């Protein structure tokens, strides 16, 4: 009679842990979205396709602000982290953001890229 209770305990632990980890992942994305919307969308657009007005005022080709382009998709996670933390061309470096925050932004950015790029 020992085995079933051990199994039940194990099952119960999984039953409790699984939703918790899903919840944590969801929370990470929500944090990333909040940061993206407040720190990046002004130039790159809420949908990561680029903000036309910003491009105009920066005197840039709007395509440069589109983060769903192939060149951006091809960059490694490490390169993107470095690029966002350190700035890139006309893009100001994001000194106020911690590496963890940048990581959660990039995670959220991936969901935008997936939503807009056809396979």
- Which residues between 28 and 87 bind ligand HEC (CB under 6 A)? 39-40, 42-44, 54, 58, 60, 64-65, 67, 71-72, 80, 83-84
Closest CB to ligand HEC: residue number: 89
Give, in degrees to the nearest 5, the angle at Cα 90 between 86 and 94: 35
Q: By the 8 A CB rule, do 93 and 85 touch? A: yes
Binding mask 76-95 for ligand HEC (x = CB under 6 A): ----x--xx---xxxxx-x-
- What is the Cα–Cα distance from 10 to 4, expressed in whole angstroms? 10
User: Cα angle at 80 between 67 and 31, to 5 degrees?
Assistant: 80
| Residues within the interface to ligand HEC (CB under 6 A) | 39-40, 42-44, 54, 58, 60, 64-65, 67, 71-72, 80, 83-84, 88-92, 94, 105, 109
């Amino acid at each position: 009679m020992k085995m079933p209770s051990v199994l039940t305990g194990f099952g119960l632990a999984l039953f409790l842990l699984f939703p918790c980890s899903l919840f944590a992942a969801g929370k990470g994305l929500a944090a990333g979205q909040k940061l993206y919307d407040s720190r990046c969308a002004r130039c790159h657009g809420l949908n990561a396709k680029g903000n036309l007005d910003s491009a105009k005022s920066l005197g840039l080709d709007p395509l440069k602000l589109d983060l769903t382009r192939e060149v951006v998709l091809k960059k490694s996670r490490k390169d993107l982290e470095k690029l966002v933390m350190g700035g890139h061309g006309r893009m100001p470096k994001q000194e106020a953001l911690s590496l963890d925050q940048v990581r959660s932004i990039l995670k959220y950015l991936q969901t935008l890229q997936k939503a807009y790029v056809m396979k």
